[in-house]
Amino acid sequence: MPGLPLFWRGNEGEAIMPNATYIALIPLLPLAGFLMLGIFGRKYFKNTSGVIGTTLLLISTVLALYTAYGYFFEYGKIDGVYQKLIPLKYTWLQFSEGVSIDMGIIIDPISVMMLVVVTFISLMVHIYSLGYMKGDERFPTYYAFLGLFTFSMLGLVISSNIFQIYIFWELVGVSSFLLIGYYYDKPSAVAACKKAFIVTRFADVGFLIGILVLSFYAGTLDFNTLIERLTSAESTEFKTAVAASFMGMSALTWGLVLVFIGGAGKSAMFPLHIWLPDAMEGPTPVSALIHAATMVVAGVFLVARLFPVFAISSPDALSLVGYVGAFSALIAAVIACTQTDIKRVLAYSTMSQIGYMMFALGVSKYGGEDGLGYTASMFHLFTHAMFKALLFLGAGAVIHYIHSNEMKDMGGLRKYLPITHITFLIACLAIAGVPPFAGFFSKEEILLAAYQSNQSIYWVALITSGLTAFYMFRLYFSIFWNREAHVHGEHKGEGGFAMMMPLVLLAIGAAAAGFIPFGHFVSTDGARLETEFHLMFSIAPVALGLAGIFIAMWLYKKASDKPDKIASSLNGLYKAAYHKFYMDEIYMFITQKIIFNLIGRPAAWFDKNVVDGLVNATGNGTKDISETIKGLQSGKVQQYAIYFLVGVIGLALLFIYWWN
């Protein structure tokens, strides 16, 4: 933005405010792209829509980097502490005194970090899709939806108001719905998009009620004020919120747990994870963007946003976050070992890694050295976005080449897809936690944080990290080594510059992102946090990771019957894991059998027969009575006259009787 200053410096003693105009442009440019391509795309931008969307996003990315530079190095710090700045706030809907939905921008370390991550990954996906989606019939619509998603996600991360975050939360949900259902004539895609929307919607009810609870006790919806009021032990709001209790838990804990349910739904935490694997029905770049790097970490981001309240006021809620995260990480890793659809493997791996981020938050405390888990979680979010997006885009390249998602159709592809092969390997090494790739650094910090505060979670995490290395290399060897795939003749190579450039850029990110001194920028209280590495501590996880890799190599490098033998020796467990521990079946049972058959059907029946029956009975009753008494209306005048006479005489007698 030439001509516009980076930030406004107020008078002496006033806060420094960054220039809101260009920060607001970051989400608004993709929105403009959505509107333009969504409304006019089919007619006017049939072929140029990809370029338009990508250009707009490129500007956003530059602005986001500019903001990050300005915030982290120019104006963000006061006395060595990063500030939470609100350069823009606009009252959108005023409910009552103090309670209003404001549309605002909050600039603090995590939101700036997320701005960079979201715009960067989204840009990569935009570029990649230029090649991947080329020739698709609904090309403009695709870019319109990508724009909508990017807008919503960026709006989510800069939300300054808890209701604002809910608004964008729903919007990312719907963009995810639209993109999963992009191939709308495929019944499985339709089912998957519905499932994703409804499951997350169910979790959002929890979020909504949580918002209502928190806002009621805090008397505000504004994040900064809310956190301030609910964390200081002296404030009246805090006292009432802790004093009020319901079923043995304080109102504050309830509120936070409910908010976490919302986050768990979006972040695919157990038991609300069932939508994520199915969501892989969407186009692969979309899976990379939404279901790996950005939207699914929204739950982590939400907990991080409210972290002071969790950590200071309600350790119970925070430890729930920790246990749910750890359990999800483990169970997803186990399931991932058995899946054969490569995107599903990646989906479960995403769930597992998000579990890492969650329990890292769960084991953290507020302030100083104790806040290591928080920093580690955000760090892992950052690195994970890089390597998981890379994995998905690499998988996309493979699928593009082989036209199948199934491992059994693949093998030996390293000769045909050399760039994809190398970048995929880098990503696998990164996620397995092999030094010096990015995943190693963030995972070490998480394990260290867990080790320092909760041993049981630490052991779960350690086992999971071994499993992670195993299933990722199972995937890698099955795709690129193993037996020779039957590659059909007419192939056009790896997909051109548009598809390879993002892979290379992300591979650089996945290899090098770990060297960023993350604690200097992101920490619980905004102050600088020095993270150090203990060589001794790193031995166990790295050794486990390498062991996992070697086992995978032994089993899958050459085609053999070893994996099947092991699978059959672990019969029950293997089957259960292969069927995702029957979670889908349980959900189907609850929804179909209980909700539809035991509530929906009786309600409809009741309405049709009882309520409407009463209405009809009133009508029919009236009709029946008329039927029976209509004989009196015989049409014979003289009969009427007799009735009349009898009536008159009767009345006369009655009056005479009364007079006496």
Binding segment (CB under 8 A) for another protein, from list 344-352, 358-366, 483-491, 637-645: 637-645
Tell me the C-alpha distance between 170 and 198, whole Å. 11
Count residues near another protein (CB under 8 A).
Answer: 58
Q: Nearest approach, Cβ of 38 to another protein (angstroms)?
A: 9
For another protein, the binding residues in 486-515 under the rule CB under 8 A are: none
CB nearer to another protein: pick between 558 and 601: 601
In which region does residue 2 sit, left (phi positive, over 0), alpha (psi from -120 to 50) or beta (all else)? beta
| 244 to 283: interface string for another protein, x by CB under 8 A | ----------------------------------------
Q: Nearest approach, Cβ of 205 to another protein (angstroms)?
A: 5
Q: Does 184 bind another protein (CB under 8 A)?
A: yes
Q: Does 168 bind another protein (CB under 8 A)?
A: yes
| 518 to 557: interface string for another protein, x by CB under 8 A | ----------------------------------------
Binding segment (CB under 8 A) for another protein, from list 352-360, 390-398, 515-523, 641-649: 641-649
Tell me the C-alpha distance between 600 and 360, whole Å. 41
**Which pair of structure tokens corresponds to residue 541?**
């996880």
Q: Nearest approach, Cβ of 456 to another protein (angstroms)?
A: 33
- Residue pair 527/108 in contact (Cβ under 8 Å)? The answer is no
Q: Nearest approach, Cβ of 168 to another protein (angstroms)?
A: 8
Binding segment (CB under 8 A) for another protein, from list 111-119, 181-189, 386-394, 423-431: 181-189
Q: Nearest approach, Cβ of 649 to another protein (angstroms)?
A: 11
Q: Which residues share a beta bridge with 103?
A: 90
CB nearer to another protein: pick between 486 and 630: 630
Q: Nearest approach, Cβ of 52 to another protein (angstroms)?
A: 20
Which of 65, 190, 576, 583 lies at the binding interface for another protein (CB under 8 A)?
190
Residues in contact with 119: Cβ distance below 8 Å, sequence separation at least 6, in sequence order:
26, 57, 60, 61, 63, 64, 65, 150, 154
Tell me the C-alpha distance between 605 and 599, whole Å. 10
Q: Nearest approach, Cβ of 390 to another protein (angstroms)?
A: 31
Tell me the C-alpha distance between 376 and 523, whole Å. 9
C-alpha closest to that of 269 among 346, 357, 341, 210: 357
Q: Nearest approach, Cβ of 194 to another protein (angstroms)?
A: 5
CB nearer to another protein: pick between 614 and 653: 614
Cα distances (angstroms) measured from residue 56 to each of 28, 158, 242, 286, 418 = 10, 19, 47, 18, 31
What stretches of 337-454 show up as alpha helix (H) in DSSP? 342-363, 372-402, 418-432, 438-453
Which of 166, 238, 348, 471 lies at the binding interface for another protein (CB under 8 A)?
166
Which of 561, 635, 656, 659 lies at the binding interface for another protein (CB under 8 A)?
635
What stretches of 433-582 show up as alpha helix (H) in DSSP? 438-453, 455-480, 496-512, 535-556, 562-569, 571-578
Binding segment (CB under 8 A) for another protein, from list 357-365, 383-391, 520-528, 593-601: 593-601
Helix pair angle (298-305, 342-363), 10° resolution: 10
- Residue pair 150/415 in contact (Cβ under 8 Å)? The answer is no
Which of 81, 512, 586, 599 lies at the binding interface for another protein (CB under 8 A)?
599
CB nearer to another protein: pick between 257 and 330: 257
Q: Does 167 bind another protein (CB under 8 A)?
A: yes
For another protein, the binding residues in 60-119 under the rule CB under 8 A are: 91-96, 99, 101
Binding segment (CB under 8 A) for another protein, from list 67-75, 334-342, 397-405, 606-614: 606-614
Which of 517, 612, 621, 647 lies at the binding interface for another protein (CB under 8 A)?
612
Q: Nearest approach, Cβ of 24 to another protein (angstroms)?
A: 15
| 25 to 44: interface string for another protein, x by CB under 8 A | -----------------x--
Tell me the C-alpha distance between 114 and 196, whole Å. 23
Residues in contact with 656: Cβ distance below 8 Å, sequence separation at least 6, in sequence order:
none
CB nearer to another protein: pick between 31 and 419: 31
Residues in contact with 151: Cβ distance below 8 Å, sequence separation at least 6, in sequence order:
27, 28, 30, 31, 34, 171
| 192 to 231: interface string for another protein, x by CB under 8 A | -xx--xx--xx-xx--xx--x--xx---------------
Which of 243, 573, 594, 603 lies at the binding interface for another protein (CB under 8 A)?
603
Q: Does 174 bind another protein (CB under 8 A)?
A: yes
Q: Does 596 bind another protein (CB under 8 A)?
A: yes
Give the type of residue at 105: I
Which of 245, 568, 592, 633 lies at the binding interface for another protein (CB under 8 A)?
633
Please provide residue 488's backbone torsions phi and psi, each rounded to the nearest 5 degrees: -75, 160
Q: How far from each other are the two terminal CA atoms of the chain, in whole angstroms?
A: 105
Binding segment (CB under 8 A) for another protein, from list 413-421, 516-524, 545-553, 632-640: 632-640
Residue 436, preceding bond cis, omega within 30 degrees? Answer: yes
- Residue pair 307/361 in contact (Cβ under 8 Å)? The answer is yes
Q: Does 617 bind another protein (CB under 8 A)?
A: no
Q: Residue 25, class by beta-carbon neighbours within 10 Å (0-12 exposed, 13-18 middle, 19+ buried)? A: middle
Cα distances (angstroms) measured from residue 8 to each of 5, 19, 34, 42 = 7, 6, 31, 42
- Residue pair 548/432 in contact (Cβ under 8 Å)? The answer is yes
- Element holding 102 (H helix, E strand): strand 99-107
DSSP 598: I
Q: Nearest approach, Cβ of 36 to another protein (angstroms)?
A: 15
- Count CB neighbours of 639 within 10 A: 12
Tell me the C-alpha distance between 297 and 595, whole Å. 30
Give the type of residue at 196: A
Q: Does 600 bind another protein (CB under 8 A)?
A: yes
Binding segment (CB under 8 A) for another protein, from list 108-116, 160-168, 345-353, 397-405: 160-168
Which of 534, 601, 620, 653 lies at the binding interface for another protein (CB under 8 A)?
601
Q: Does 642 bind another protein (CB under 8 A)?
A: yes
Counted residue by residue, the chain has a size of: 660
Q: Nearest approach, Cβ of 281 to another protein (angstroms)?
A: 12
Which of 484, 564, 585, 607 lies at the binding interface for another protein (CB under 8 A)?
607
Q: Which residue has tokens 């695919």?
A: 268
Binding segment (CB under 8 A) for another protein, from list 80-88, 162-170, 403-411, 505-513: 162-170
Residues that bind another protein (CB under 8 A): 42, 91-96, 99, 101, 163, 166-168, 170-171, 174, 181, 184-185, 187, 189-190, 193-194, 197-198, 201-202, 204-205, 208-209, 212, 215-216, 596, 599-601, 603-604, 606-607, 611-612, 614-615, 619, 630, 633-638, 641-642, 645
